[in-house]
Every structure is written in structure tokens, then in C-alpha cells.
Structure 1
Amino acid sequence: MEPIDEFFGSFEGGDYNIVKETKSKKKNIKKVKSTKLSAEIEESDDEPAGKVSKLLHGEDEAFAKFLENEDPNLLNVEDGDLDDSEAEADESDLDKKESEFVGDENDADDFDDADEPDDVVDQSLIRGVKKWTKLFESNSATIATCRSLMRAFVQVSSPMVAAYGSNASKLKIASGENHEADDLLLASIVDLAALHLKPTLNKLLGTKVADKRDMPYNSLPKWVNIATPLNKYFTSCSKIVEASLQQPLTYKILKHLLVMRNYLMCYPKVVNQVVKVVSECWADRSNHELEISSFLLLERIAKLDMEQYYQEIARKAFSAYLKKAAASSLETLPKIAFMQQCLVQLFALDINFTYKQAFDSLKSIVLLVKAVTIDKKKEMQPELCSWKTVHTLYLWVSLYGSIKNYGILSSLVYPIVETIKEIISYACGPRFYPLRFHCVDMLTMLAKSTGKFIPIFQHILDIFSQTDFNTRPKKLSVRPFNLSGTVRFSESDLTEKGFLDCITERMYRLILEVMNLHAYSIASPELFLMPIVHIRKFLKVCENREYCQKFKQLVEKMEESAQFIASERERVTFSVQDADEIKKWEQSMEKEGKSCISKFYKKFVEIEAKNKAAKNLSYSNSDNEMKSYKKQKKYFKTNHSMISKKKGKKKGAKNV
């Protein structure tokens, strides 16, 4: 059996016989034409040879006779030249007809008919989708059915993506008559593939053997039948995600790629393209479903092949996080927090690579601190006191809260603490209080996750001596300051009333968090001594009753907790050197939960959450009221101007 016969023999439904018939028709047409030509030549011995001479004698006999008298060979044109061109045209028509019949099993209407209108192709594809659904639901689908489904997906998606040009991320959907129909058709094909493609391929290829032996799927014997259409299918999926046609469609395709990840890993080039496209989708999209599905796909690809893809995925994700962090604002903070959690989950997979990445980023921050503090380079100050450094430090600090076994990362705790302290000591003015609060928050997170003692109270209590809480504000603030969305204050912010209010609230919360951190420590009476002394000095000087009531409450709680721990500490039999016994004692005290500070802190967090929800509702309502007021104002202005114009015209007419 020849290779051509083998190729066409794979198609069922009489397609192979049709191809043979078309070939025999070609040969018969050539034979008939050659016999006609020979008969015509024999009959026309007396007349000038060829079709050119016949045409000339029929149209202009005088000119034909003139040519014969001058040179008789001019009209002896070979008829074979003309007839061969006609035969070639007939052959091309037959080839087109032949391409209409040749196709896969269950692929009655061919999808490569470029000459047919779009409506005919769409109807054929709709009929094909209905036929494939019946085959998949009845468990009678074959490899040819899967191939046809994938080819249909490629055919429908390729013109939609190609319409957007090379830079697909900046393009918008082109308006066309059949655009909605194409979207519905593509969505139906994607739904069908997401439901039935993987289980059918698993059944037909026999992937259970490959899963048991940890073999790649491309080593299976039947993989050759599906290799090329599956490659095109995955590339078109990545192009659709890159083009960002519709959010529901891209979400379905990302979920489908997540399910088909074992098949996807057999194509390294396609995997690199998918990683690039999906990482951009994870970083740039605002839809939460797309963010989660894209990150899950990246994480599963990294887990399947840690050596080849993990480091590339982690580096791309980290660079995207830094880009997003550099342009941080109140609107982008939830997105940055989500990216931070995703990166923590990625870096937890390989601690050695994470150590190298953390060491390099901390080294760059330390060099910035050195350039600003020691070398006195003022132009480097904005880069040091920026959101990029803050979010980078937040990332490495939050990493310790999610990893149980730190390993080599435990050696980076001390450098992180020292860099944060250097930033606090440099940015010590009132304008950089938000940056100071962020740094204190990072130190509390690090002390809580690692269990190591870090002195934090002094960085908060220094604010009492640096600011005058008795000064009267020059301006009234419209809204309270949100310190989570700023790194520094402006000069005008320092003169507003909301400046002192937000500082006292933030200090109150941070002191309470540190108190809760040391509530069950055996050394809490000594640790609470310094803040009690500083706050009492502040209470003697401060004239604002609200501020005095807040900090006086903290002093009372610290004194009560210190007395409780001191009384419980007197009953202990072990010495100061028994570190294990001290840890056990602190853990037992924490389980009992008798400390007044921990109870007060829980109530405070609950009340704060309720107040935040109420504030968000009031702000949204006020914004809506302002928008409606502005619309009404514009409406009245336009009506007033129209009425005044009409009155002016009437007055002018009367004067005339």
C-alpha cells in the first residue's frame, strides 16, 4: 500500500473512493481533449492550422490572407499550447472539488473552504458541533472526532485573533456582521472541549499507564495521531488569552488549560508561550477569577517541572510585582496584596532559590540605604522612601509567616530587621510618619511569625517627643487620612486637623498590637515599663481629652497585665536559664487566655471592622450624592442659559 493510499485510507464514509473517482475523471478529460484535437487537425488539412487561424478567418478574412501571403508560418501556432492551459484550469477546478470531499471522520463539512461564504462555513460548523456532542455524550467519540473538534476551534479562533494584528494586547474587538455568531460558536466549542476532551483522550490514549510509571504522554504509542492538532490547539488557546477577547471566554480557556496541563507539558515551546501570556494576564487583569485561574496554572506548571519552568515563572512574577508596587495607590493595594500572597506561595516551593532572590533584593535596598545615609546622595532618597522598597520588604516579611521550616532563610531575619531600622532612623521627620508606621508594622509581623524578640516600642514612642499634640490646626480636613495608601505627608497635610487624629489612632493601634504580642511573655512586666513611663509623661503635657483617654486606657491595661504576669511568675520553680521550660509556661498561659490585653485586643479588632464597614458605606453614599448634585447643577445651568438666550432674543425683537 502506497503512502498516499495510507493517508486517504484513514478517512471513512466513502471519501477515499471519491478521491479515486476524481483522479480517474482527470485522466479521462485529458484523453477526450487529445482525441478531439487530433480529429480537428485531420479535418482541417486545407485550412490554416490551429485555432488562431480559424478565429482570424471568421472575423477578418482579408487580414488573414495578407498574413498568409507575407509569411505562412505566422499562423502555424501549436494547438497543444492553448489546450494544455485549458486542461490545467480544469485540473485546478477538480482539485478544489476534491478538497471539498477529503476530510476526517465525523467531519462531513470541510473547514478549509476559503471560497465559501462565512454563513455556509458557520452552518457547517454548527452542524459539526451538534454531531460531536452526540458522539461525546454517547461515549462513541474517536481520535478523529477529537482532531476535528480541535481543528474547528483553531479555524474559528484564528481569524478572530488575526484581526487584531501583532500587538493583540492593545487591540479591541472588530465590529462585523458575524461577530456575535462567531463568539457563540467559539464558546460552544470551548464548553464542549472543556467537558469531554480530556476524559476522551485519557480513555483513547491509555494515560493510566503513563501516570503509574511517571511517563510523559508523548511516549504513548497513539500519541502520533494527535500530536500536531493538539499543538495547534494549545497555541490558539494562548493567542486567545493574549488577545483578551472576552473575560468569560478567557476564564474558561484558562480553566481548560489547567485541566489539560499534562498534555500541555509535552510541548516546551508552547509552554514557554503560555507562561509568558498567563503571567501577563495574572499581573494586568483586574478580574479576580482570571487572576486566580492564571496563578493556579502557573503554579501547577512550575510544580510539574521545577528544573525547567519554576525559576522562570518566579522571576517573571517577582518583576511584575515590583512594577505594580512602584505605581501603588489606594485602588491598586488589593491587587498588590493578592500578588504578594501568590508570590509567597510560589517562593515557598523552593527555599534555596528564594534565599538567592531575597538576598539580591535586600542587597539592593542596603546599597540604597548606604548611598543615602553614608554617601549623602539626596537624589537617591525618593527611591529609598518609595512604595517599591516598602512592598519588597513586606513580601519578604510575610514569607516567614507562611513557611514553617525556614532553613537557610533564618539567616536573613537579622539583615531584614537592620535595614528596616535604618530606614526608620533616616526617615524620622513628621512627613515620613506613614513610612515609619509601615516599618513598625513589618517588625511586628516578623516578630510574631519568627518568635524572636525585636525591640519595637521605642520606634513608636519617639513620636511623642517629635510632635506637639497641643497645637491648633490651621485647616479643617475634609476626610480622615488613610495611612495605608501613603508613604509621606505633604507640607499642607501637617497643618490639618486630621494629621494629629490619624497619628494618634495609628499609634494607639500599633502599641496595642505590640502589647498583645508580649501579653503572655514572662518578661512582660519589664517590657511594659518603658512605654508606661513615656505615656505618663505625655499625659502630663497633653491638653486634648480624647488623646489622653485613649493612651490612659493603654497604661491601665499594661499595668494590670504586668501585675498578673508578676503574680503568676512567683509560683514558678525553674530558673531563667531554662529556655524550654519558659516556652512551655508561656504556651500554657496563652492556652488559658486570662490576660486582659488579649481580651481587649479581640474586642478592639471586632469594633474596628464594624466601623470600617460603616465608613465605607457612608463614603460611597456621599460620593453618589455629590455626583447627583453636580448633575443637577449642570442641568440647571444649561436650562438657565437657554432661558436667558430666549429672553434676550425676545427683547431684541421688541426693540426692532
Structure 2
Amino acid sequence: MKTKGKGKKGKAFSKADEMKLRKMINNQSSKADEESDDSSLDDEDLDVQDDDAEDLEFGSDEEVADDENGNESDDEEDEEEKDAGSEEDESVENEGSGKEEDVGTTKQHKQALNRLKDTDPSFYKYLLQNDKELLNFEASDDDSDVDEDEKVHKPPETLAEDSEDSDLENEEEYTGAQINVTKAMVENWNDSMQSDGSLEVVAEIVKAFQSAVVQLHGKEDEGRTNLKYHFVGAGHFNSIMQTCLSYMYSSLRKILKMPSNVSIAQPMKSKRWKKARQHIKLYLNTLIQYLGLVSSEEVQATVLKHFHQMSLFVVCFPKMCKTALKLLVKLWSEGLSQPVRILAFLCLSRFACNRQNQMLEMVLKVMYVTYVRNTRFLSPSVLANVNFMRLSLVELFYVDEAAAYQQAFLYIRQLAIHLRNAVRVHKKETLQTVCNWQYVSSLQLWCTLLARTTKSSPLRMLLYPVVELTIGVVQLFSSPQYYPLRFHCAKMLTFICKCSPTFIPVLPLLYEVLDVYDFNKKHKHVSMKPIVFTCILRVNKRQQLENSFKDAIIEQIYAVALEYLASQSYSIAFPDLVVPFISHLIKFSKTCKVAAFVKKMKSLQDKMEENSKFIEEARKTKNVNLTKQNDLDAFDAFVRSKVSPLDAFYQNWRKAFEEKKVIRQKQSFDEANVPKLKKHAAKTSNDEPTELFPSDDEESDNIVFKGIDSDEEQKPAPKKKPKKTKKAALVKPPPAKKAKVQEPVDDIEEGDIVADFDLDDF
């Protein structure tokens, strides 16, 4: 049998070790009995020895009985111990089957050894000197749970992290008097930066730059008394800024001995990185702070150009990247000018494309959330900025399509959940989660992204869910009030068909409006201002009763259908594709009584029929097997070698439409451009003119009215309210009123004049 105990060094505590320790204890106890005055043991001492024997249980029962009698000599005990040891070794070898004998717990062993320390200090000292491992053993297998819990190291609840600010804390604080920056100091720094660019000079310039930004921020008195330099005038401040923006990047590259190729340059692998790290970090933190304080467009653009260079060093500090990311995204979305937004996007692309810090997913997430937040309200003034944000964000999604798939899948799934809730729970709250610009702008983003994907791209699998979401939104809001939303969705699907060889049935979304809406119904309100669906998703009840609403519907159907058909004009299936649409146009021409609408749809029908003949002639020329992709590709190449009639017509129409759109953007449709009915002031009893707009200007003093001398004081005559009767107004309208109203009508285009609109009715 082997009883194992584990010491500090992991050695097994065998039976032989137990016998050795037992022998030493018995020898020392017998010597202590001989030296004592009492020749026999008392009952209490005997009980203590019995307890020790029961606790240890190192020997057999016979040896314990001999110890109790105390009649045997030391020599006899030694011989018996040797015999017992040999017998125990033989019994251990014979009992190799794995039977274990009960032994005392480790806690009891320690108590016995502690009592040995009190009873025989000399022997305990001997054990410490010669065989220390016998005294220093740990818990056995049975008591491992108790002792290990007591000895296992438990870490503290909060661990000290390696903060990036530790470099700045280790830097020696300047406790002397502040030094005023002079022109000679700045010129000396400039010369040093241009010549050698040593690390000592860079450190001094960084401290001066920090002092300048803190002084600009006005926080010198808020615990920042360790600044070394002080700026007196604005000229020195501009000089140190120019020095940093011009020479800091090139100097750091010389100090770190970085390669000229930026794509392979890694500052952290330089041998001098540890020495320059704290100065670079201090400079970048100060630069980010200064970028947040600048309010001028030109200064922001200049600092962003320098920050774009220094982004190579910014990516070496993950915590700093997060701070810079928030600031750059804010400038990207809310920049003061377009150059500022573009430069901020270039800095963000540096962060996203850098594989060292793996910030692509974080950049995409923050930019997408910011894009959705800024599309809450859409107006013509912010439309250009929203388009820029969408196109630039799409470019970053193509950096890593695998990572972009994970982000896109989550957000598209979120859109699908909102649409499902709106379909199931048809309430105002759920419908508003879908019919808003944030939802539509998100769909526009994903349609723009997926339109350019290839067949091998992982993003290609998300094309079908996005198309189903877009069609689901159209089917959810089918009333005329939401026709603007329908046309926005139709434009998204048309863009996908135009940029990729994907077939999407868009025409049913258009001719459904021709079948449902009643264009023969007379309008109740007249508006000279056309309704533009670019920045609206739905129209109110009054707009539905205006004549311009029907005009806008026809224009949108014509524009979207023409763009979609032009993208499909080279398809071998074009004649079969337009058959349903032509039948609906023929039906519309028979039922609609508005000549302008019928004429517009008739021109579209003629172009479709002309293009169908073009494809049919190409079919007769080329023998195509529809089951073979090679034949289809050959037919497509043959047809695209020529220009289809519908595509040529669309290009000319598009050019004219863009020119008209530019003119419309220049002319703001405000109250000055809309004709109004002006009321004239009533004549006084004296038939004297009245000063309607009195002014204190010098020019008004020189005005002389007929019948009034220039020297006399001009006083306005008292106004009298003329008695107007409804009958008199209809019988004899004022002659001036009719002439004044007809003047602005002559400037209106012919298409805006309504035939049944008569001004005499007013």
C-alpha cells in the first residue's frame, strides 16, 4: 500500500518516509521519558500518547502497545522498527492491487507536529535542518478541496489596465516659470525640423503646440499649470501651427526611419518607437483637441490634410482611434463644406483599410448609425449631403465584403422585422416605423450597395431579401396618398436592374397606378406650383385635390418607366416584357379624357413598339438557343454593338431633364415667383394718394405727388372702409383688379395653364 501526500515540490509521501518519521519520534519520546523524574507515565500522559498514535497511525497495533508499556530498550525498539519497515515494504509490494488504508487527515498531522515542537524543540529543529520536506507537506487528495480553497490566489475585483495615458503620466512635469515664445525660437525650431529633425527638437515643439492649444481653449487655470511655454500674440501661435502642420510628419518619418511606401510602413516596428512614443501620443491628442476647436472651413481642411498623414501613427493607439473616429464621423456628416466632408471621409478610410487595428467593423457601424440619424428629415438643402454620405459609405463596405456581409445582414434583418410588425399589426405606430425617411434611406443604401455586387461576392445573397422588402413596402402602402413612396421604391429597383443583370418586375408597380387612380376626376384646387416627389413620401388631402398632383403622377410614371425600359432595351426578351404594359397603356388611352396625359403615354407606347421591332429583327438575324448561356451572351454583344431606339431616346430625354433640373434648382419656388391676387387700397374721399409705406430715408423726402406742394407737410388721409356687397362685386368688378391679376399669368408656361380656369369667377 502507498499513501501519497504532496509536498511543495510535488514529491510523493511514501510509507518508508512515514516509518522514518515514526522512528525519530519514538526515539525522542523514549529519551524524554528516561530524563524525566517520574519513572512511569501518568494517565493523562498516556491518553495524550494514545491520541497521537490514533492521529498519525503510522505503525501497527503491536508497536503502539509496546510504546504504552515502556519496558523495551532503545536497541530493541530499533531492531523492531527495522523489521517492521521491511515487513511493510513487502506488504506494499504484495498489495499492488490498489487497496488503500485509512490515514489521518493532513490537519491532524500538522497538529501532531506542532505538539512535537512544544514537547521536543531540539528534535523539531533537527527535522528542520536535515529533512524539511517531511514537515512542509500539503493537503492529500481527500482534503484538497478545503486546503486548495484556502491557498488559491484570488485576483482583485478591478484589475489595473495598461492605460495609454501612462506615457503622459511618466513624463516629467515642468514646474518652472513659463517661457514666452519668441520669433527667434520658432525660426530656430523651423531650421532644426528642416535639417535633421531630432527627437529633442520634436519634443520641444510638441510641448509648445500643446501650450498653444490649451491657451486657445482657455483652460490654463483648470489644473494645467505644468505648461512650459506661453504665447503672447497670435503671430507666434500661427507660426508654431504652421511648423507642426508642415514639418512634423516628415520629421517623425526620419526619426523612426520608416520606408517611403506608406502601405508597408509600421511605426511600432521601429527601434526608436519606445523613445518617440510618448511625444507622438501627446502631439496626436493635442491635434485632435485642436481639430475639435476649429470653426473655420479653411483651417479645418488644412488640419484634416495633416491629420490624414498622421493617421499612420494614430492607428497605433486603439483608444485614441475611438476618440478620433467620433470626431471624424461628425465632420463627415455635419461638415461646414464639401471639402471638409471629403477629407474627413479619407481619414476614415485610412482607419477602415488599416489591418493593424481591425477597426473596419467599428467604422462601418458608427458611420451607418450616423447616416440613418441624419436622414430623419430630408429637404432639398440636405439632399446633396445625404447622397454623398450614402455613396461614400458604400465605398467603405467594399473594402472587406465578408465583414460588410455581417453588418449588412444585421441591419437588413432589422428592416424586415419592422416591416413584418407593420403588416401584422396595422396601426399608426407600426406604420410610422416603415413610412419614414430613415427606413427609405436605409433601403436606398442597401440597393446602391447590392447593385454593384458580382456573382462571387458574399453580398450577392442579400439581394433577394432587399428586393422583397422594397416590394413589400409598396404593397403595404397602396393608397394614392403614398404614391411618392411607391415611386421612390420603383426607382431603387430600377437602379438595381440598370447596374446589374438582375431582372426585377418594376412595370407592374407603375401600370397599377394607371388602372387604379381616376385621372378624369376634376380637381377642386388649382396650384401653379408643381409638386416634386423628391423630398416627400406622402401627400396631404389638399395636395391630392390639386391639379399638379395628377401632373406629377404622370411625370413620374413616364420617367421611371422610360429609365427601366432603357436598361432592358437590349434584352432578348424585351418584346415579350412590354406586352402587358402596352395593353394597359392602350386601355388608359381609351378611358382617360385628359389629352395631355394620353399624348404622353402614347409617345412612350410608340417607343416601346419601335424597340420591340428592333429586337425582333435581331432575333431573325441571329439563331439563339435559349438554353445556352453562350448564345445569349453572343446575342447581347451583337445587339449592344448598335444603339437601340429606346436607349437613344432616353439619353436625349435625360440630357434635357438634367438641364431643366438645374434651372429649377436655381429658381426657388417661393412667394415671389408664385402669382398672387393683390388687393388695392381703397380711394379716399378727397381722391388724394396715400403714402402706403412711409419711410425716413432721404430719398422719400424728395418725392412730390401730384396736387401737393413740396413745401407742405404730407399727411396720410384717413382710411374709410368701403361698403362692399357681394352682389356689387359680382356685377361690377374693379377694372384695375382684372388687369393686375392677368399680368403674371402671361409668364407661366403653357403646360401649367388649366383650360377650365377662369379668373372672372373670382
Q: Settle same-fold status: TM greater than 0.5.
A: yes
**Residue identity matched to 2:210:** V
Residue 624 of structure 1 and its aligned partner are, at CA, apart by: 9.4
Residue 298 of structure 1 and its aligned partner are, at CA, apart by: 1.0
Select which of 413, 421, 431 maps to 1:381: 431
Residues 220-235 of structure 1: matches in 2 within 5 Å? 220-235=270-285
Residue 328 of structure 1 and its aligned partner are, at CA, apart by: 2.3
Alignment pair present for 1:191 and 2:242: yes
* Equivalent-residue separation in structure 1 for 2:537 and 2:670 (angstroms): 28
Residue 202 of structure 1 and its aligned partner are, at CA, apart by: 1.8
Q: Could you say which residue in structure 2 is the equivalent of 1:465? A: 515
**Residue identity matched to 1:310:** L
Alignment pair present for 1:346 and 2:403: no
* Equivalent-residue separation in structure 1 for 2:525 and 2:406 (angstroms): 49
**Which segment drifts farther, 463-472 or 425-434?**
463-472
Select which of 563, 566, 571 maps to 1:513: 563
Q: Could you say which residue in structure 2 is the equivalent of 1:615? A: 664
2:186/2:240 contact within 8 Å kept: yes
Gaps of 5+ in 1: 1-110, 167-177, 630-634, 652-656
Quickly say closer, same or farther: Cα 1:363–1:219, change in 2 above 3 A.
closer
1:508/1:551 contact within 8 Å kept: yes
1:371/1:377 contact within 8 Å kept: no
Select which of 214, 218, 232 maps to 1:158: 214
Q: Could you say which residue in structure 1 is the equivalent of 2:88? A: none
Select which of 567, 574, 578 maps to 2:628: 578
Once the two structures are superposed, residues 246-265 of structure 1 have per-residue CA deviations (whole angstroms, 9 ceiling, x without a partner) of 33222222111111222222
Alignment pair present for 1:134 and 2:134: no
Q: Could you say which residue in structure 2 is the equivalent of 1:589? A: 639
Quickly say closer, same or farther: Cα 1:135–1:338, change in 2 above 3 A.
same
Once the two structures are superposed, residues 63-93 of structure 1 have per-residue CA deviations (whole angstroms, 9 ceiling, x without a partner) of xxxxxxxxxxxxxxxxxxxxxxxxxxxxxxx
Q: Could you say which residue in structure 2 is the equivalent of 1:238? A: 288
Residue 408 of structure 1 and its aligned partner are, at CA, apart by: 2.0
1:187/1:249 contact within 8 Å kept: no
Q: Could you say which residue in structure 2 is the equivalent of 1:290? A: 340
Q: Could you say which residue in structure 2 is the equivalent of 1:451? A: 501
Q: Could you say which residue in structure 2 is the equivalent of 1:303? A: 353
Q: Could you say which residue in structure 1 is the equivalent of 2:3? A: none
1:240/1:250 contact within 8 Å kept: no
**Residue identity matched to 1:602:** Q
Quickly say closer, same or farther: Cα 1:395–1:226, change in 2 above 3 A.
same
1:161/1:239 contact within 8 Å kept: no
Alignment pair present for 1:398 and 2:448: yes
Select which of 139, 144, 147 maps to 2:200: 144
1:164/1:243 contact within 8 Å kept: no
* Equivalent-residue separation in structure 1 for 2:674 and 2:301 (angstroms): 36
2:611/2:645 contact within 8 Å kept: yes
- Greater radius of gyration (CA): 2
* Equivalent-residue separation in structure 1 for 2:254 and 2:672 (angstroms): 58
* Equivalent-residue separation in structure 2 for 1:494 and 1:415 (angstroms): 33
2:212/2:231 contact within 8 Å kept: no
Residue 334 of structure 1 and its aligned partner are, at CA, apart by: 1.2
1:279/1:316 contact within 8 Å kept: yes
Residues 257-656 of structure 1: matches in 2 within 5 Å? 257-305=307-355, 308-404=358-454, 407-593=457-643, 595-619=644-668, 637=693, 639=695
Question: Normalising by structure 1, what TM-score?
Answer: 0.72
**Residue identity matched to 1:578:** K
1:344/1:402 contact within 8 Å kept: no
* Equivalent-residue separation in structure 1 for 2:555 and 2:327 (angstroms): 44
Quickly say closer, same or farther: Cα 1:180–1:301, change in 2 above 3 A.
farther
Greater fraction helix: 1
**Residue identity matched to 1:421:** I
1:210/1:216 contact within 8 Å kept: no
Alignment pair present for 1:206 and 2:257: yes
Quickly say closer, same or farther: Cα 1:584–1:286, change in 2 above 3 A.
farther
* Equivalent-residue separation in structure 1 for 2:247 and 2:634 (angstroms): 56
Residue 243 of structure 1 and its aligned partner are, at CA, apart by: 2.7
Quickly say closer, same or farther: Cα 1:164–1:225, change in 2 above 3 A.
closer
**Which segment drifts farther, 150-159 or 616-625?**
616-625
Once the two structures are superposed, residues 290-310 of structure 1 have per-residue CA deviations (whole angstroms, 9 ceiling, x without a partner) of 111111111111211365311
Residue 188 of structure 1 and its aligned partner are, at CA, apart by: 3.3
Once the two structures are superposed, residues 448-507 of structure 1 have per-residue CA deviations (whole angstroms, 9 ceiling, x without a partner) of 233111111110001112222222322222421121100111111101121111111111
* Equivalent-residue separation in structure 1 for 2:693 and 2:271 (angstroms): 78
Once the two structures are superposed, residues 14-57 of structure 1 have per-residue CA deviations (whole angstroms, 9 ceiling, x without a partner) of xxxxxxxxxxxxxxxxxxxxxxxxxxxxxxxxxxxxxxxxxxxx
Once the two structures are superposed, residues 586-610 of structure 1 have per-residue CA deviations (whole angstroms, 9 ceiling, x without a partner) of 12211322x1101100100111111
Residue 193 of structure 1 and its aligned partner are, at CA, apart by: 2.3
Quickly say closer, same or farther: Cα 1:416–1:144, change in 2 above 3 A.
same
Residues 37-186 of structure 1: matches in 2 within 5 Å? 121=180, 124-137=181-194, 139-163=195-219, 181-182=233-234, 184-186=235-237
1:210/1:220 contact within 8 Å kept: no
**Residue identity matched to 1:132:** W
* Equivalent-residue separation in structure 2 for 1:618 and 1:276 (angstroms): 37
Quickly say closer, same or farther: Cα 1:279–1:211, change in 2 above 3 A.
closer
**Residue identity matched to 2:187:** K
Quickly say closer, same or farther: Cα 1:219–1:413, change in 2 above 3 A.
closer
Once the two structures are superposed, residues 183-236 of structure 1 have per-residue CA deviations (whole angstroms, 9 ceiling, x without a partner) of x54443333223222222222321129979x57323323334432222111101
User: How many residues end up aligned between the 2 structures?
Assistant: 512
Quickly say closer, same or farther: Cα 1:215–1:468, change in 2 above 3 A.
closer
Three-state SS of the structure 1 residue aligned to 2:625 is coil
* Equivalent-residue separation in structure 1 for 2:717 and 2:549 (angstroms): 57
Once the two structures are superposed, residues 352-392 of structure 1 have per-residue CA deviations (whole angstroms, 9 ceiling, x without a partner) of 22222222222222222222222333321111111111111
Q: Could you say which residue in structure 2 is the equivalent of 1:102? A: none
**Residue identity matched to 2:389:** M
1:241/1:278 contact within 8 Å kept: no
Once the two structures are superposed, residues 519-557 of structure 1 have per-residue CA deviations (whole angstroms, 9 ceiling, x without a partner) of 111111111111111111111122222212211111111
* Equivalent-residue separation in structure 2 for 1:614 and 1:247 (angstroms): 28
**Residue identity matched to 1:529:** V
* Equivalent-residue separation in structure 1 for 2:326 and 2:262 (angstroms): 27
Three-state SS of the structure 2 residue aligned to 1:619 is coil
